[in-house]
Structure 1
Amino acid sequence: MQKVYIYKKFERFWHWCQAALIFFLALTGFEIHDSFHLFGFEKAVAFHRSASYLLLGLIAFSIFWHFTTGEWKQYIPTFSKLQAQIRYYTIGMFKGEPHPTIKSVRKKLNPLQAVVYLGFKLVMAPMVILSGLLYMYYKSFDVNDMVVALNIPLEWIAVIHTLGAFLLISFVVVHVYMTTTGHTITTNIKAMITGWEELEDAEDITEEGKIKKSQS
């Protein structure tokens, strides 16, 4: 086992900011739906709108970062060992079986994670963002006959946005659970805080050469 610097500063910043914004959007979104009362309806709407703009800005920066650093390649899906990975999470890890894939700097995501995260970026996130923008600016679009041309009732947009939000929340819940499946319950969370993680095979060394032997 060796400890490798695997998550860069911006990667960790983007990850935690995105998580915080998603939770805050869920909180204010539920209040807008009158599930509970915390900020008050008007403030909840204002906070929800502001948080959505911040998330859009963060997504724009993260897309730029992924493409300029080549990190987008991490999300290229592969079906190699996908079935073995699913079996590991459902049965194997409870029997103490070894992990079917080896994590490295160049391969941070296992086959199942790559497929799920790609689905998040290409389906869930766009679904919530586009429906949210349509909902916020429905009157502007309607005045210009844009929504009429698309023939999308406001009620449908609201349903699509809410469905996307529940899918997003489900993704976050599963993601939080999966962080507990490392060498210890807190291993993966610590890695996303410090950037360092214990890997079984440390063939990949970052450009900074930041690699050190585990203290364990």
Structure 2
Amino acid sequence: MRQMIYKRFERFWHWSQSLLMLAMLVTGFEIHGTFSWLGFEQALLWHEVGALALIILWLFAIFWHFTTGEWRQYIPTTEKLMTVIRYYSKDIFFGKPHPYKATPERKHNPLQRFSYLGFKLLLAPVIWLSGLLLLAYPFGLEVFSLATLSAVHLVAAFLILIFLIVHVYMTTTGPTPLSHIKTMFTGYEEPQEQGNKEPTQSTKKTV
């Protein structure tokens, strides 16, 4: 039976955040001279606009998470953590079913909880703090040197890019390559015939 896992605001927040982060990565790397497309001034302008939009989006998301209690979805747990790690590192290549089933009450598996929490508590604060200090630098707020701030901001951007690449790859590891992406559009996770069933007696004997 189909059940809704991700509510409407969660889906809006997810895709809006994804697009804004991609826009900021593209304009940010152009600002650092990685390539030329919009030009430095336009890239800087759109980078700042994107940052402002993302800050507003995050404020709404933080408010929504705490008023609805959804912040509990990110509380780390070690329950089934090693089982999930073994699945992604080994079992997935042998066609074994995923050991974790998402529910409205527990949407993220243990590995996701740790990775999302790490993003929110480590990467996000570093990219935001360094970015805001860079914006304030021309106004005389020189907490660190410009070179240091730029380097920290750039390293954080590369780490976020790696996080996004891994995240996109993980979305292709569902029952079909697009099933997880479809869930983030519709909110519904399709039932799986194999998933999360206890092995039968005959199966246990052959393991």
Q: TM-score, normalised by structure 2?
A: 0.90
Alignment of 1:11-90 (within 5 A): 11-90=10-89
C-alpha separation in 1, matches of 2:121 and 2:73:
14
C-alpha separation in 2, matches of 1:30 and 1:13:
26
- Is 1:9 aligned with 2:8? yes
Q: Secondary structure at the match of 1:181?
A: coil
CA RMSD across the alignment? 1.3
Task: Give me the identity figure in percent.
Answer: 50
C-alpha separation in 1, matches of 2:14 and 2:63:
15
Q: Which residue of 1 aligns with 2:205?
A: none
C-alpha separation in 1, matches of 2:156 and 2:59:
20
C-alpha separation in 1, matches of 2:192 and 2:31:
46
Q: TM-score, normalised by structure 1?
A: 0.86
Q: Which residue of 2 aligns with 1:111?
A: 110
- Is 1:184 aligned with 2:183? no
Q: Secondary structure at the match of 1:64?
A: helix
Provide the aligned length of Structure 1 versus Structure 2.
193
The amino acid across from 1:115 in the alignment is F
Q: Which residue of 2 aligns with 1:207?
A: none
Q: Which residue of 1 aligns with 2:161?
A: 169
1:6 Cα deviation (Å)? 1.3
C-alpha separation in 1, matches of 2:138 and 2:40:
20
Query: RCO (CA 8 Å, sep 6+): is it higher in 1 or 2?
Result: 1
Which sections of structure 1, spanning at least 5 residues, go unmatched? 202-216
TM-superposition CA deviations, 1:116-161 (whole Å, max 9, x none): 000011111111011000011113343xxx62xxxx2221111110
C-alpha separation in 1, matches of 2:191 and 2:73:
17
C-alpha separation in 1, matches of 2:140 and 2:80:
46
Contact 1:77–1:115 (Cα < 8 Å) also in 2? yes
TM-superposition CA deviations, 1:77-120 (whole Å, max 9, x none): 00111111111001111112222222111111000000000001
1:195 Cα deviation (Å)? 1.0
Q: Secondary structure at the match of 2:2?
A: strand
Q: Which residue of 1 aligns with 2:188?
A: 196
Contact 1:103–1:200 (Cα < 8 Å) also in 2? no
